[in-house]
Structure 1
Amino acid sequence: VVQKEYEKLHETTKSEKIEFVKQTLEDLLDSSLMKERRIVGDMTAYKKIHGIPYPEDEKNVLADKKQQYAKEITQARIEQIRINSLLRQILAIKNRIGTYSSGTVNEVKNELPEDDFSVIEEFFE
Structure 2
Amino acid sequence: MTVKELQELVKQFAADRDWEQFHTPRNLILALCGEAGELAELLQWTSDADVEAWLAEPSNRQKLRHELADVFSYLLRISDVCGVDLEEALVEKIELNQSRYPISLAKGSARKYTELADPEPHGQITGGN
- Confirm or deny a common fold (TM above 0.5): no
Q: Which structure would you say has the larger RCO, counting Cα contacts within 8 Å and 6 or more residues apart?
A: 2
Report the structure number with the largest CA radius of gyration. Answer: 1
In the superposition, the TM-score normalised over structure 2's length comes to 0.29
In the superposition, the TM-score normalised over structure 1's length comes to 0.30
The structure where helix makes up a greater share of residues is 1
